[in-house]
Structure 1
């Protein structure tokens, strides 16, 4: 009897939990360039309004400063109905995102 009550409590909590609207999101478009030594690229969009595109290239090939540089952007609809956009570069200097909603470092 005790285990039945515990099971019933777990079921009640599971039913009462809010549904995640993104759980059923589907990929509506996808494009990918061949991945190779000289770079890659892709674009993806999902049914819940998320979009992302990215490309990567090798810089300074054959030197001791050889590094991968990635450029991309993603956007998503926020819970407030606003579409948020982040544009970024990632390279030997790290991940460098920019977006109207992101804080910026004050200049010295």
Structure 2
């Protein structure tokens, strides 16, 4: 019985997927360019690696000293996906949130036109809202 378990363990070990344990070419990538300039109210940096990864970002404080003080950032990065496609992303991040742009990002469908019966309903509700909002009409509606 022990030899059966040992043989079964050897078969399981041989059939195991260990592809994720192998070192890829990216594991030995080197930084070939790196620059940074950081100040009290602004910053900028950039980098590039030997396997084609690159990025840059800059940012600055807006409305310094006020309650509306915030940082505004612009940047980009680029790399090659496993399928060979070059992925490039640009972005801004500020008081309006993070706004990425890239050809690989999904886009929402175009908005559809509002059906005519909904437009009529909205118009009807807007015209009759004042009449139905009066206290007397609310009392009459309940009884």
Band the TM-score falls in, shorter-chain normalisation: 0.7 to 0.9
Which has the higher Rg, Structure 1 or Structure 2? 2
Find the counterpart in structure 1 of residue 35 from structure 2: 31
> Judging changes above 3 Å, is the alpha-carbon distance between structure 1 residues 80 and 17 closer, same or farther for their aligned structure 2 residues?
closer
Question: Does the alignment pair 1:82 with 2:66?
Answer: no
TM-score (normalizing by structure 1): 0.78
Counterpart CA distance in 2 for 1:72 and 1:32 is: 13
Count of aligned pairs:
103
Q: Choose which of 55, 58, 73 in structure 2 pairs with 1:55.
A: 58
Distance 1:81 1:37, change over 3 A: same
What secondary structure is seen at the aligned counterpart in 2 of 1:23? helix
Correspondences of 1:9-48 after superposition (within 5 Å): 9=13, 16-18=18-20, 19=22, 20-33=24-37, 35-48=38-51
Structure 1: give runs of 5+ residues left out of the alignment. Answer: none
**What's the TM-score once normalised by structure 2's chain length?**
0.60
Greater relative contact order (Cα < 8 A, sep 6+): 1
Task: Give the secondary structure class of the aligned counterpart of 2:91.
Answer: strand
Q: CA RMSD in A?
A: 2.7
Q: Which consecutive unaligned segments of at least 5 residues does structure 2 have?
A: 112-143
